[in-house]
């Protein structure tokens, strides 16, 4: 990766560091649609294909969507990983500019690129898909029980199917609770986002945050 881009995302601005043959080139854009347009224009003009930034919750969501809609698959990096890496670089002074450089350099120098091989959504896909399927099975069994209640001599069937539903509910709770634990590990700002967005609980965030 001789050409790449690290972005420090804040509420209002995008501090950008292009690394071209290890030489940093800095820019700054507004974190809005016009700024996103100008960023993509810069990336195109410099033939940049690799882009990464920290997970910053609500602040990076629109940027992520815009880049995705324009042909990029940005790497969303755990802020704790960047924090530890930045300390190892012993950069003097902490600014948005130096943070953008640290992100770019992190992508460039990472020997173990497993953190870049899949977006966060793929990491949680097995869990969210399983939860969705369990909910679907519960609804289907509930509908089946309702139809059986209209027939005679179905007490045993209904009893056993209700036991199955109880098992599904228990399994779903275990998977959901474990997903929340992992989500908080992968997304340290989880509780901050939950508090910032009124009316949003764990159930919605589990399906919203990874995307």
Instruction: Give mean pLDDT, residues 180-199.
Output: 73
Q: Which is it for strands 50-54 and 3-9: parallel, antiparallel or unpaired?
A: parallel
Does this model's pTM top 0.75? no
Q: Of all helices (H) and strands (E), which one includes residue 56?
A: none
pLDDT for 37:
96
Task: Answer yes or no: is pLDDT of 198 > 70.
Answer: no
SS3 string of 182-203? Answer: HHHHHCCCHHHHHHHCCCCCHH
pLDDT for 199:
67
Distance in angstroms (rounded) separating the CA atoms of residues 73 and 69? 9
Of residues 63 and 92, more confidence is placed in: 63
Task: Answer yes or no: is pLDDT of 188 > 70.
Answer: no
Q: What is the pLDDT of residues 83-140, one digit of tens each?
A: 878 777 776 667 888 889 989 988 887 644 444 444 555 667 788 889 889 999 999 9
Of residues 76 and 171, more confidence is placed in: 171
Q: What is the pLDDT of residues 40-55, one digit of tens each?
A: 999 999 999 889 998 8
């Amino acid at each position: 990766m001789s050409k790449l881009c690290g972005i420090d995302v804040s509420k209002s601005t995008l501090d950008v560091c292009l690394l071209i043959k290890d030489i940093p080139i800095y820019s700054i854009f507004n974190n809005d649609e016009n700024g996103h347009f100008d960023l993509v224009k810069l990336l195109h003009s410099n033939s940049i294909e690799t882009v990464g930034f920290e997970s910053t919750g609500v602040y990076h969501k629109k940027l992520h969507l815009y880049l995705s809609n324009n042909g990029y698959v940005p790497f969303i990096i755990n802020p704790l990983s960047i924090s530890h890496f930045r300390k190892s670089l012993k950069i003097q002074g902490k600014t948005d500019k130096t943070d953008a450089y640290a992100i770019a350099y992190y992508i460039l120098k990472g020997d173990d690129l497993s953190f870049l091989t899949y977006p966060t959504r793929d990491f949680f896909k097995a869990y969210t898909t399983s939860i969705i399927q369990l909910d679907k099975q519960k609804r289907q069994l509930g509908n089946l029980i309702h139809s059986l209640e209209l027939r005679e001599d179905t007490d045993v069937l209904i009893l056993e199917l209700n036991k199955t539903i109880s098992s599904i509910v228990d399994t779903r709770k275990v998977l959901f609770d474990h997903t929340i634990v992992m989500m908080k590990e992968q997304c340290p700002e989880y509780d901050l986002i939950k508090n910032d967005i009124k009316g949003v609980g764990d159930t919605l965030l589990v399906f919203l945050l990874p995307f």
